[in-house]
Amino acid sequence: MAVVEELLRTEADGAISFGNHKLDAKAKLEDYEHAGDLLKVKTFKSMTKLEKNGMFAYESVPGTSVNHFVETENGVTFVVEGDEDAQITVGLEDETEYEVFVNDASIGKMKTNLGGKMNISVELADAGEVAVKIVK
C-alpha cells in the first residue's frame, strides 16, 4: 500500500482513499465531491483529518494514509498505514455501541460519545497496513 499522492481520491469500488503520512509540510484539499458529499482533507506526518459536509469524519495522530474508507449505516471500514502507532478518532452515530475489529480480530465493543466520536489505538509501527472495521 502507498500514500495517497493526490491527498484524496475515489476508488473504482466507490470507496475513498486519503492522507499522506510522509509529508513534512501540511497539505489540504477542499470541496472534493464524492457521492453527493463535499469532502475536505488535511494531512501531513503528524496529523490526518477528513471532514464530510463540514462535519468530522476521521482524524489520526500522528498522520496516516487511509485506503478504501467506506461508511455505511452500520459503521465504517478502512485500511490504514503509518510510520508510528496511531490514535484514530472516527465520527459515527451518537451514543451507539459498535464492535471494533483490527485485522479481522475483535478488540471489543465500544460506545461512541454524545458527539458520535470513537477513539481507537492502532499499532502501525512496522505493521505495514492494518484493516479496521467498526460495526453496530
Q: How many domains does the chain have?
A: 1
For position 125, which CATH number holds? Answer: 2.60.220
Is residue 109 included in any domain, yes or no? yes
The count of other CB atoms within 10 Å of the CB of residue 101 is 17
| 109-118 pLDDT, tens digit each | 999 999 999 9
- Span 10-49, pLDDT tens digits: 999 999 999 999 999 999 999 999 999 999 999 999 999 9
Domain range spanning residue 106? 8-135
The residue whose grid cell reads 470507496 is 15
Whether 2 maps to a domain, the answer reads no
Give pTM, 2 decimals. Answer: 0.95
Looking up cell 465504517 gives 76
- List the beta strands (DSSP E) in 8-128: 8-10, 16-18, 27-34, 37-44, 47-52, 55-61, 65-72, 75-81, 86-91, 97-102, 105-111, 117-122
